[in-house]
Every structure is written in C-alpha cells, then in structure tokens.
Structure 1
Amino acid sequence: MTKHKAKLYRMVMEKHVCPYGLKSKDLLERKGLEIEDYHLKTRAETDTFKEKHNVETTPQTFIDDERIGGFDDLRIFFGKDRPEEAENDISYQPVVALFAMMFLMALAAAFVATGQWLSILTAEWFVAFSMCGLAYLKLRDIESFSTMFLNYDLLGQRWVRYGYLYPFGEGLAGILMIAGIAMWLAIPVALFIGTIGAVSVIYAVYVQKRELKCACVGGDSNVPLGFVSLTENLTMIGMGLWMLYKIFYLS
C-alpha cells in the first residue's frame, strides 16, 4: 500500500518556532504520512512563500501535492471537528480534571499526615481542596464568572456584589477547613453559600427548565448547569454539617 506523502511548510526561526507547525507535524506523523518538513527560517522566506501560494498564514500542508491548509484545515481533513464547533461542545473535562487532581492531593496529604491513604481526613481534605480549586478557577476571571453566575443565582440577582464575593467565601471556607481552624467562620460561610447555591440551581434547572452554563469552574466553561454545580453546593452543605457534628459530638 502506497503511503501518502505530505509537504509541511512551517516557521522555524532562531527566536520563534510556530506551535501550530509543530502540531501539524505531530498530527501528520500520528497519521503515518511520509513528511517533507520545510523550514521557513526568516520573515522574508515566509512572506515569499505566502505570496507564491496566495495564503495568509503558515503552516501550510500539502498532501499528495494538494494543498490542505493550516493546522485547523488539517484537523478537518482527518475528520476532526471544526475548532469553533469543538469550542462550543458541552464538556465535563475541566470538572473531571479538577476533582481527579484534588482527590490525588487529598490522598497524598492524608498519607503524610496520618500514614493512611484512605481515611475520614482524606474525604475532608478532598472536599476542602476542591473548594479551594473551584474558588481559584472562578478568581482567574472574576468578571466572567460573576456574569455567568448572575444568570441563575437568586441572591446574586438581588445583590450583584455577591457574585464577586462568592469565590472568596468558598476559598476561605476551604482553607480554614484544611487548617482545621476558625470553624466558627468556615461552617456558616459554607452552609450559607452552599444552601443559596443549591436552591438557585434547583430552581433554574429543575423548576424553570433553563439550559444554562455552569459558573462553578469559572466563566469560560462549557459545563452545563445542573448536576455538577448542585453537587458542589450540596457538598459544601454536607461539609459544614459534618464539621458541626465533629465539634459537638466527637470533640
């Protein structure tokens, strides 16, 4: 069976190596094509190439002497989604990645602290670490988060500043619970924001039947509002109640 041959023209300069050129080369290699890799080493070479082939960008890939185009065009050629379509796809990947990392961190921290991988402390720290991680994602772009948050949060719609305070409260409660201090502050904060959040999600998703994006992992996610955000809030409520139980019944 004859292998398809590809010619790849990409910028490889002393102070700049085009990342999309590297991605194109990697994709072609993974597809098993024979590659002739041409480096455009100066701006002049790049401009000459663009003018010759009447293109506006590099890299450019040719397969069996037929021009495919840039990296996005190459992805489409191999049957992948258009980038703009992929960006709009519903995805739970940010949530899965966050919780997986927080769980592994909780395992490691609990082992260092107690010599046991799995314990009550592991569960406590998993929830507290997750609260801090979620707060960080919101604080990366608090404007975007607050805008998305105000679409459904009942308190935020009445008091806009709450949309800016929420991630600070979540992060503060998480940090205090990790340290095991100031439970008089951490517990009320967790119970308050968790309860308001849970009621808001239930009303928006399950009563009004609205299809919204979840602000739980920041304002730029494609995570749908519903199970994830409700779980976040119910977990905060559960953590607050558990800490109350520990103080009054286990101390």
Structure 2
Amino acid sequence: MLLAAHTDDFDKPSADISQHTVPAPVKSVLRAGWTVREDGYVVTALPYDPQLGLVTEPGDDEFDADTVTDTELHTYAVGKPYHPNKTSWPDGLMQWRLTDTGVSLLLFLGSPTTSEITAVRTGRAQFALIAGQHALLLAHRFEPGLPWSDAPWQACRQDVPVGLPLVGETGHLLVAVMLVDAHTGIVQAIRQTTWSARFAEAVRAAMRTQTLNRSTDAQGATEIDTWYRRYTTTQDLVRHADLTTKSGAQPLT
C-alpha cells in the first residue's frame, strides 16, 4: 500500500501536500504510472472522488494480516493507530516486508523526537545490503535525524509470499516507510522513497539465493550472528556492504 497525492498542487515542488494524500494499492499505481516528488510523495493519475475517496479496481485491494480484522481493512494514517487493537511495541523494532505487491520498512521508536519524525518524512534516505547464502541484512538511514540502523531478513521467517515488484518506468522501485510511536502505537510519519534498479535486483537475487538453498531458520541465524560478530556497528557493516544506494539515484558503490 502506497501513499499517493490527490491535490492540484502536486506539480509544485514547494507545495506542502502532506494533508492531501491517500493510501493507494501498488498494483493500481503501477498500472496508472507514477512520479516521485523531491519530498518523497508519490503522484499518480488515479481517479479521486471527494465522497468515495480513491477509486481503484477491487482486485487491486491489499490486506495485511497484522492490521486487518475479519470484517474491515485498517487504513494507515499519520496520527492514527498503526494497529486497531494494539498500543505498544518493542522500542527500536524494525521490520522489512519484501513482497510482490510492495516493499516497506516499519520503524517503531518510543516517543520519537521531532527531528526523528522529520527525518523519516523528508530526510535523505540511504540503504545498504549485505547478502548471504541463508539471510540478508538491510541497513537504512534518514539524514539528518536518524543514523544508520539495520535489520536482518530471512525468507523462511516470512508469513506472506516473498518477492519484489517490477521496477517502475523511472528505473526505481518504490519503498514505503512508516514510523510508529512504540509507546502509543500511533503512526508518526509515512513516506515513499525509492531503491535504484541495481539495488532492487541485488536484493531480489539475495532473496532468490535463500529460496534455492532452502535456507532454514537455524542456518540464517548462524549467518546473521557471524555478521554481527564481525561488524560491531551498523556503520562498520555499511562500509563492508555489497551495495549501497540513496533514494532516487544510482547506487553509491
């Protein structure tokens, strides 16, 4: 699920459109075409009705098992609960979701500061990848405000089918980022950023390696433990990454 703009000011780079956005299914955005503003918002030519909201094909709807009840679809919005039935999460928790319907990074910070919220909303996004035979590590930072952090990912631990969407016409893959207050469960920031095509394909290849190896949880845990023993800080990990990239640009290395 992406966050798309629905305002006539979308083509004005300096315009604040943060109050004129709605969730949009990835499939609908890919079909209609899209561009990414400098502030990270996605602009797409999908019909918007003031009464009905965004109009999309029913088959494009997306559901998340962590946030959907049996009878309703939970909508993410800044200032609203991330989960309708849960108000606290582990402070510092980071989760990557890599599926064929979209890529997302979920960040939980206890009582995030204004600078941390601003960093997620508009900061310069950078990413790094370390790929192994049974696991991968993805690092991220949003400057200024949030330094390098990282989180492991194992295909065998995912509760949804894994994959990556196709790279868009602009040569980049959309990545959704959400910041949640770990103490209250309230969404503090939502943005869209991008991976370069080269970085996306490197992640795709690392995911494929795990599938071909039929990697187990124990194998992945051993590999992850080895990385963390070798690289004692995320900055050290990034210096030895297989590939790094920054939002909307070609890889840095």
Normalised to the residue count of structure 1, the TM-score between the two structures is: 0.19
The higher-RCO structure (CA 8 Å, 6+ apart) is 2
Of Structure 1 and Structure 2, which has the larger fraction of its residues in strand? 2
Q: Which has the higher helix share?
A: 1
Which structure would you say has the larger Rg? 1
Length-normalised TM-score, structure 2: 0.19
